[in-house]
Amino acid sequence: MSGEDSDKKKTITVNYEIANKRDGSLKMALCRPWILQIEQELKKPENAEIK
């Protein structure tokens, strides 16, 4: 995985957290279903640590 991909994932996560606080999770889920998939990936134990 390149550094660019890693940075992109971090940026998406931060943007999601900001938008989630501002707009609420339901609106965010309806607008960006793919972001929930990324969130699920981040919650998986094998992805919890950088290897």
Could you report the per-residue pLDDT of 15-51, keeping only the tens digit for each?
666 666 665 555 555 656 677 777 787 787 776 565 5
Determine the pLDDT at residue 41.
79
Determine the pLDDT at residue 45.
74
- Is the confidence at residue 9, as pLDDT, over 60? yes
The contacts of residue 32 (CB under 8 Å, 6+ apart) are 16
- The verdict on pTM exceeding 0.85 is no
Q: Where are the domains of the chain?
A: 3-45
Q: Judging by beta carbons within 10 Å of its beta carbon (0-12, 13-18, 19+), is residue 34 exposed, middle or buried?
A: exposed
Among residues 13, 46, 48, 47, which one has the least CA distance to residue 32? 13
- Is the confidence at residue 7, as pLDDT, over 70? yes
